A and B are shown apart, each in its own frame.
Chain A
Amino acid sequence: MSPSPSILSVLSEDLLVRVYGFLDPPCRKTWRLASKEFHRVDSLSRTSIRILRVEFLPVLLSKYPNLSSLDLSVCPKLDDDVVLRLASNGAVSIQSLNLSRATALRARGLETLARLCHGLERVDVSHCWGFGDREAAALSVAAGLREVRMDKCLSLSDVGLARIVLGCSNLNKISLKWCMEISDLGIDLLCKKCKDLRSLDVSYLKITSDSIRSIALLPKLEILEMVNCPLIDDDGLEYLENGCPSLQEIDVTRCERVSLSGVVSIVRGHPDLQHLKASHCVSEVSRSFLHNIKALKHLKTLWIDGARVSDSSLLTLSSSCRSLTDIGVSKCEGVTDIGMTGLARNCLNLKTLNLACCGFVTDAAISAVARSCRNLETLKLESCHMITEKGLQSLGCYSKLLQELDLTDCYGVNDRGLEYISKCSNLLSLKLGLCTNISDKGIFHIGSKCSKLLELDLYRCGGFGDDGLAAISRGCKSLNRLIISYCGELTDAGVEQIRQLEHLSHLELRGLKNITGAGLAAVACGCKKLDYLDLKKCENIDDSGFWALAYFARNLRQINLCYCSVSDTALCMLMSNLSRVQDIDLVNLNRVTVEGSEFALRACCNRLKKLKLFAPLRFLLSSELLEMLHARGCRIRWD
């Protein structure tokens, strides 16, 4: 493999770097294994890294000097100590830092990090339930921050937000989704102090219309997301009519008190709006709404899921907004073939169409869409029961660019349909959950032709068996996610074939009663990248399978072992050996004793972030163990 010196003399380092720039991330691995020279080019050119194990962090940081993006979100055992040790190595030129789910990281560590990375611009601390005001204050040391994601930082209050707002006044993107302690006061201060804000996410917050009044004063705001804000009403949205002059995207999905008039007032004030997401708050598409929405010549996205839409209004809508690329009309009453045909004729650039639960849509509509909208990439047809192989035939013929197809619960889909679908060779994601009429024959077509498939969902597809799974395993080599829960026909013979899927990271085997330790062992041995494994109710897997899992599945991060017949020893082995495990569900384990649970948890308590346990164990496990888990940032759900 080592390149001859002649190649290197022809290709200068500059050229090598340029060539390297064209490579896909998977190819880069091969590249850096080629030679020392190539490896050097790799280490100099690499700008982003996702760390899986914290032990190697210092080495990697010194190896890749030009890193600008560091992702520590899947890193276990990341705590203040690690960061303090890092600090002794000197400053880092990181601009983007992902600390999502780094629940053990507290104020001291964060402050060190913020000081360490001078040029820090983007930070993600979402899902850190321990991230509170003190941590926010520590983070605010990084004055150059532009983007902050704080989704589900449950302890963050207005005070913490104020610290970040005052410390980092150049913020232009902030997400406060699920920060339930944030109130109008915090939002008001944010809007007063960060005038450069371009993107704001206040979804699920208990804020009132007062906040909207403050938000309306932001001159540069382009994206405003406020999904499910239960206290915001139409009066609040009226402030937006004359505010936020740069607004381009707004999401008011599931805001209980928002009605059509509120949405209309937004539309009236912003003729340049590009994305309007108003699912499940508009009850009916009225004439006034249509009249106003006609003015939006640049509208690209329109979600009105759950509204009552007549065919004529769908026609009017599509004839005026011709640049629409993303339409969501799921659960809309009144959507029929006539409306969809008209829509397809008008919106030729359509890329995404969500028709979930539109029960009256038939093959005619799908055919029309497939014929007219050749750029279609995503099609969601969940629970469209009228769809049969005819519709899928035209999809296979015309929609060559289709990447994502959701046919969950479409019982009109059969083997012939799958054969047609398999002609969409660019398909990346295919969801066939609850399609009981498909068998090995259909699956075989998918496996043989859809080689690019990344995600396949076969949840409760009882009709296919081991041969089908073998075909998938042979054909879809790049498969990332595979869901074969409750496919009762599957046995060890089929599941063993999964080991061929090297890139598999997410595997759900829930409720497969026929598989045993041998099957699991094969999977564990073959799928090195396995990160998520669901074994709930796989009752016949014995300890040999779990032993194998403990030895091979070193990258396993999340595992569900509920109702498994795992023994004390196997559990202890698993927990102590799986050095990346962070999220475990351990409910209803009949063969595991209290002592076994205690030992198993002690073995992995420094890396756990989330844990589901049988409720009575709360009083049976030692208190020091529980304290330790809490201190390390682990959340326990008692079931």
Chain B
Amino acid sequence: METEDDLCRNNWGGSSSSSNLREPPVCFTSQHKWEDASILDYEMGMEEEPSLQVFNQMKASTGQDNNGGQVNVDFLQGVRAQAWDPRTMLSNLSFMEEKIHELQDLVHLIVGRNGQLQGRQEQLVAQQQQQQQQLITIDLTSIIIQLISTAGSLLPSVKHNMSTAPGPFPGSALFPYPREANNLASQTLNNNNTCGVHDFDFPKPSVVEERESHVVEEHEMKDEDDVEEGENLPPGSYEILQLEKEEILAPHTHFCTICGKGFKRDANLRMHMRGHGDEYKTPAALAKPNKEALPGSVPMLIKRYSCPFPGCKRNKDHKKFQPLKTILCVKNHYKRTHCDKSFTCSRCHTKKFSVIADLKTHEKHCGKNKWLCSCGTTFSRKDKLFGHIALFQGHTPAIPLEETKPSAQRGSSSGGNSSNNNINTGMIGFNVGSATNANEEVAQPGFMDGKISFEESFSPLCFDTCNFRGFHEFPRPMFDDSESSFQMLISSACGFSPRNGGGGGGESVSNTSL
């Protein structure tokens, strides 16, 4: 679809531009409408069957209107013949001229009526006014439709395309409806078409011109792409170039013909050339060599590039060959796919790249990927990591490397050593006091000092009689439910005799006076 319309505009701009310029502004409106219609068509998409039906309907009803019928017949003939006839075109042009005059008259009429209306607004019955207005509107609509369709028939290639594929839907709907039959049919179109006429809100010529120039520009661009649709270029519609490996990997692509110095950019070469003599300083020599330097010259075949690596999908011999668009694409593709990754990230030292730009892009974000999988892949987002883990068997989220943890880590690591010591001492079970002391000694040298001072400073606090070590070495009950073995304690001091009397053990502290 795109192509059709492009081509339409293309020819419009090309062949009938001179007549266009001479046309009164109204004609621009129609052009404008045409465009709108085609834009509308983009949005609506293509419906083959209905448009064909409309087409047939039109064929059937052509007899009713002479002028319109003539054009239609011509048009249809043109469609069938697929030929461009200058005589038909001339007659079409004269028809359009006539129609434009009609249109002018109508518009004058409306303008006159409006002036009157302002005078005696109140006297007129609103209904009548509306009816008349409606009639005029219908007339206007049909004339404009005819104009548009005729103008459209001026384009020879439109016929061609319409025969192969159904035309733009609204475009064909706008196509010659007989004036009488239009009454009903155009009701539906009113919304689209009449509003502009109602209000006489013609787009200003400047706007139209702007649009037109835009169209032309577009045409130029598209011209390059020829009948391309997206990147699905039909084979043969473009020129395939294949650079050699050396050429691709060469650091410089532009060389001075005099001294042989290489440059990455042609502009730099031209700057350099100035030093070789005045002849390189002329504006012509310094100007950017433009492909489309000559306007109106035959559009060049577009260039696409092939990768020299055999078997690569980007290689022209591949079954599903996908060409590369520019030389830069070729270079990046070749380096990324077929070369060693020689640039290593200076931050993570793991990621490698073959294109230096990729490295720079990575380095911008390196370190921000804090979500790490056991396979080494990093993610900037947690949900991406979890998606990855859910997908692959055996992958687990990695826990970031140890931050230096305070004493706990040190304590337990050195505790291993101390445990050996303890075992070597041959104690049965664990001597609680000494074992913990040993741990603390190793783990917390500073704390050990504290411990000493603690024991020392305890005596001033009237613990003279109390042997601390003695407490530590009390036999301890094993369980809740086991008979505890310290019935030995300060029975006299507290004045209680533990009921389950029995032999005590350990050192007595009964000398502690309370």
Q: Which A residues contact B (CB, under 8 angstroms)?
A: 25-26, 29, 33, 50, 52-53, 55-56, 58-60, 77, 79-81, 84-85, 88, 104, 106, 108-109, 133-134, 137, 158-160, 162-163, 166-167, 185-186, 188-189, 192-193, 518, 521-522, 525-526, 528-529, 543-544, 547-548, 551-552, 554-555, 568-569, 572-573, 576-577, 579, 595-596, 599, 602-603, 606, 622, 624-625, 627-628, 630-633
Q: Is B298 an interface residue (CB 8 A)?
A: no
Residue B194 at the chain A interface, CB threshold 8 Å: no
Given contacts A29-B481, A137-B399, contact A602 B412 (CB under 8 A): no
* Chain B residue contacts of A109, Cβ below 8 A: 412
Q: Known A81-B415, A84-B416, A134-B399; judge A554-B458 contact (CB<8 A).
A: no
B-side interface residues toward A, CB under 8 Å?
382-383, 386, 389-390, 395-397, 399, 406-409, 411-413, 415-416, 418-419, 422-423, 429-430, 432, 436, 439-440, 444, 446-447, 450-451, 454, 457-458, 461-463, 466, 468, 471, 476-484, 486, 489-490, 493-496, 498-499, 509, 514
Q: List 10 extra interface pairs beyond A60-B478, A627-B407, CB under 8 A.
A: A50-B479, A84-B419, A108-B412, A133-B399, A137-B399, A162-B386, A185-B383, A555-B480, A606-B436, A624-B446
Q: Which residues of A contact B466 (CB under 8 A)?
A: 573
Which residue of B is nearest A161, CB measured?
Answer: B397
Distance from B460 Cβ to chain A, minimum over Cβ atoms (Å): 10
CA distance A260 to B480 in the complex (A): 48
Known: A85-B419, A521-B496, A627-B406. A552 touches B489 (CB 8 A): yes
Residues of chain A with a CB closer than 8 A to B457's CB: 595, 599
Give Cα A9 to B165, complex, Å: 109
Q: In the complex, what residues of B have CB within 8 A of residue A80's CB?
A: 412, 415
Most chain B CB within 10 A, of A58, A134, A547, is at: A547
Cβ contacts A to B, 6 pairs, < 8 Å: A29-B481, A85-B419, A185-B383, A189-B389, A599-B457, A602-B451
Q: Is the CB of B484 within 8 A of A554?
A: yes
Inter-subunit contact A522/B496 (CB<8 Å): yes
Cα distance, A522 to B396, chains bound together (Å): 58
A577→B471 contact, CB < 8 A: yes
> Once bound together, how far apart are the Cα atoms of A137 and B396, in whole Å?
10
Q: How far is the CB of B317 from chain A (nearest CB, A)?
A: 44
Q: How far is the CB of B484 from chain A (nearest CB, A)?
A: 6
Known: A81-B439, A602-B451. A189 touches B386 (CB 8 A): yes
Please tell me if the beta carbons of B412 and A81 are within 8 angstroms of each other in the complex. Answer: yes
Please indicate the chain A residues that have their CB under 8 angstroms from the CB of B484 in the complex.
528, 554
B408 close to A631 (CB less than 8 A): yes
- Whole-angstrom distance between the alpha carbons of A26 and B480 in the complex? 11
Contacts of B422 in A (CB 8 A): 85
User: Of all chain A residues, which has the CB nearest B497?
Assistant: A525
Are A622 and B386 in contact (CB-based, < 8 A)? no
A residues in contact with B418, CB < 8 Å: 81
| Chain A residues whose CB sits within 8 angstroms of the CB of B480 once the complex forms | 50, 52, 529, 555
Residue of B nearest to A632 (CB): B408
Roughly how many angstroms separate A633 CA and B493 CA in the complex, as a whole number? 37
Check B419–A159 contact: CB distance below 8 A. Answer: no
Which of A84, A166, A625 is in CB contact (< 8 Å) with B396?
A166
The interface residues of chain B lying within 8 Å CB-to-CB of A547 are 490, 493-494, 514
Q: Looking across the interface, which residue of chain A has its beta carbon closest to that of B486? A: A554
- Knowing A85-B419, A548-B494, A627-B407, the reply to whether A569 touches B430 (Cβ < 8 A) is no
In the complex, residue of chain B having the shortest beta-carbon distance to the beta carbon of A573: B466
Smallest beta-carbon distance A549→chain B, Å: 10
Q: Is the Cβ of A53 less than 8 Å from the Cβ of B390?
A: no
Q: Which residues of A contact B447 (CB under 8 A)?
A: 624, 628
Q: Chain A contacts of B409 at CB under 8 A?
A: 106
Complex: A104 Cα to B408 Cα, angstroms: 8
Q: Which residues of B contact A104 (CB under 8 A)?
A: 408
Taken together as a complex, chains A and B put the C-alpha atoms of A526 and B497 apart, in Å, by 10
| B315 to A: closest C-beta gap in Å | 41
CB-defined contacts of B477 to chain A, threshold 8 Å: 52-53, 528, 554-555
What is the minimal beta-carbon distance from B407 to any residue of chain A, in angstroms?
4
- A52's contact among B382, B399, B406, B478, by CB below 8 Å, is which? B478
- Cβ–Cβ < 8 Å partners of A522 in chain B: 496
Among candidates B390, B399, B432, B444, residue contacting A628 with C-beta atoms closer than 8 Å: B444
**A631 CA to B415 CA in the complex, in Å?**
13
Query: A104 to nearest B CB, angstroms?
Result: 8
Please tell me if the beta carbons of B481 and A26 are within 8 angstroms of each other in the complex: yes
Is A55 touching B476 in the complex (CB atoms < 8 A)? yes
| Contact for A544 among B432, B468, B514, CB less than 8 A | B514
Q: Are A106 and B494 in contact (CB under 8 A)?
A: no
Residue of A nearest to B438 (CB): A81
Looking across the interface, which residue of chain B has its beta carbon closest to that of A81? B415
Do B407 and A628 have beta carbons less than 8 Å apart? yes
Per the bound structure, the CA–CA distance linking A56 and B439 in Å amounts to 18
B479 lies within 8 A of A52 (CB):
yes
- Residues in chain A near residue B483, CB distance under 8 A: 33
Residues of A near B436 (CB, < 8 A) are: 77, 606
Q: In the complex, what residue of chain A is closest to B391 when comparing beta carbons?
A: A192
Set of chain A residues within 8 Å of B429, measured between Cβ atoms: 55-56, 58-59
Are A53 and B478 neighbours in the complex by a CB distance under 8 Å? yes
Using Cβ atoms and an 8 Å threshold, which residues of chain B touch A630?
A: 406, 408
**Interchain CA distance A193-B386 in the complex, whole Å:** 12
Min C-beta distance of A85 to chain B, whole Å: 5
In the assembled complex, which residues on chain A have CB atoms less than 8 Å from the CB atom of B412? 79-81, 84, 106, 108-109
Contacts of B386 in A (CB 8 A): 158, 162, 185-186, 188-189
CB neighbours of B471 from chain A (8 A) = 576-577
| Residue in B396, B432, B490, B509 whose beta carbon sits within 8 Å of that of A163 in the complex | B396
Q: How far is the CA of A53 from the CA of B474 in the complex (A)?
A: 14
The CA of A33 and the CA of B397, in the complex, are separated in Å by 52
Output the least CB separation between B253 and chain A (Å): 49
How far apart sit A628 and B423, CA to CA, in the bound complex (Å)?
25
Closest chain-A Cβ to B376's Cβ sits at a distance in Å of 16
Contact partners of A108 in chain B: CB under 8 A? 412-413
Contact with B416, one of A81, A159, A186, A555 (Cβ below 8 angstroms) = A81
Given known contacts A81-B412, A158-B382, A547-B514, A525 and B496 CB-to-CB distance under 8 angstroms: yes
Q: Collect the chain A residues with CB atoms within 8 Å of residue B478's CB.
A: 52-53, 56, 60
- Closest-CB distance, A99 to chain B (whole angstroms): 16
User: Which interface residue of A77, A569, A631 has the most chain B CB atoms within 10 A?
Assistant: A631
Interface centre among A58, A59, A81, A630 (most CB of B within 10 A): A81
CA–CA, A625 to B432, complex, Å? 20
Residues of chain A contacted by B499 (CB below 8 angstroms): 526
Asked whether, in the complex, the Cβ of B461 is within 8 Å of the Cβ of A606, the reply is no
CB pair B399 A159 closer than 8 Å:
yes
Task: Check if B396 sits within 8 Å of A568, measured CB to CB.
Answer: no
What A residues does B397 contact at CB under 8 A?
158-159, 162-163
Min CB distance A156 to B, Å, is 12
The answer to whether B389 touches A525 (Cβ under 8 A) is no
B509 / chain A contacts, CB cutoff of 8 Å: 551
- Chain A residues with CB under 8 Å of B462's CB are 569
What are the nearest 4 A-B pairs in CB distance? Answer: A81-B415, A80-B412, A631-B408, A631-B407
Task: Determine the chain A residues whose CB is within 8 A of the CB of B463 once the complex forms.
Answer: 569, 572
Complex Cα distance, B207 from A506, in Å, reads 92
Is A544 within 8 A of B450, CB to CB? no
Evaluate contact between A579 and B490: CB separation under 8 angstroms.
no
Determine the distance from Cα of A525 to Cα of B484 in the docked complex, in whole angstroms. Answer: 12
- CA of A572 to CA of B494, assembled, Å: 19
> Does the CB pair A106–B408 fall under 8 Å?
yes
Instruction: Give Cα A595–Cα B397 distance, bound, in whole angstroms.
Output: 47
**How far is it, in angstroms, between the C-alpha of A568 and the C-alpha of B418 when the chains are bound?**
33
Cβ of B514: which chain A residues have Cβ within 8 Å of it? 543-544, 547
- In the complex, A622→B397 CA distance in Å? 39
Tell me whether B490 and A551 are in contact (CB under 8 A): yes
Instruction: Find chain B residues with CB under 8 A from A525 CB.
Output: 494, 496, 498
Question: Which chain A residues border B486 with CB–CB below 8 Å?
Answer: 554
CA distance A606 to B493 in the complex (A): 30
CB distance from B462 to the nearest CB of A (A): 6
